[in-house]
């Protein structure tokens, strides 16, 4: 009698490639599996723990993708309004003109509190530094 294959949930670091302007995902061959769990809930908890640690060292989330809409479900205007709610509304944001978000991040990065940094990264809901993938393991006779 054949037993059905088991499923494991693997937490892996996403391999991002830099193109001299921003990071992009160039396929999955640069992803690095780290640990496997029997349940998705445990794997997702570990992914989130790893994300929070990495946010402190990863620099700007605005360096990933080519614009706010590529890393967040927020529009640029919504993101600007969000920044005001976490006390990061700066003079550069007044007037709604186009901004160089990289320059903005460089100007505020050293003054960010841990809570502000975490809040910004949480708004980047399309951006993951780690992910959970489901894989079949075993199976047998």
Q: Whole domain around residue 25: which residue ranges?
A: 6-137
Write out the DSSP string of 85-102.
Answer: HTT---GGGGGG----HH
SS3 43: helix
Q: Which pLDDT score, from 0 to 100, does residue 95 have?
A: 56
Residue 49 inside a domain? The answer is yes
Residue 1 inside a domain? The answer is no
In this prediction, residues 48-56 reach a mean pLDDT of 93
Banded pLDDT at 9 (limits 50, 70, 90): very high
Residue 38 inside a domain? The answer is yes
Q: Which pLDDT score, from 0 to 100, does residue 88 have?
A: 83
* CB hemisphere CA count around 107 (13 angstroms): 12
Q: What is the pLDDT of residues 69-109, one digit of tens each?
A: 889 999 988 998 899 899 886 666 665 556 778 888 888 88
Cα-based angle 48, 51, 56 (whole degrees, multiple of 5): 140
Greatest mean pLDDT range, 9-18, 38-47, 54-63, 129-138: 38-47
Q: Which pLDDT score, from 0 to 100, does residue 92 have?
A: 61
Residue 87 inside a domain? The answer is yes
Note the pTM of the prediction, 2 decimals. 0.82
């Amino acid at each position: 009698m054949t037993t059905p294959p088991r499923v494991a949930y693997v937490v892996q670091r996403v391999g991002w490639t830099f193109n001299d302007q921003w990071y992009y995902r160039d396929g999955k061959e640069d992803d690095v599996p780290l640990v496997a769990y029997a349940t998705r809930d445990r794997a997702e908890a570990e992914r989130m723990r790893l994300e929070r640690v990495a946010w402190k060292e990863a620099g700007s989330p605005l360096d990933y993708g080519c614009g706010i809409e590529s890393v967040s479900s927020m529009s640029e205007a919504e993101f600007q309004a969000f920044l005001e709610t976490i006390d990061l509304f700066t003079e550069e944001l007044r007037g709604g003109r186009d901004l160089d978000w990289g320059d903005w991040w460089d100007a505020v990065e050293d003054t960010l509190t841990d809570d502000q940094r975490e809040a910004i990264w949480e708004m980047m809901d399309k951006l993951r530094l780690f992910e959970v993938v489901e894989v079949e393991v075993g199976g047998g006779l």
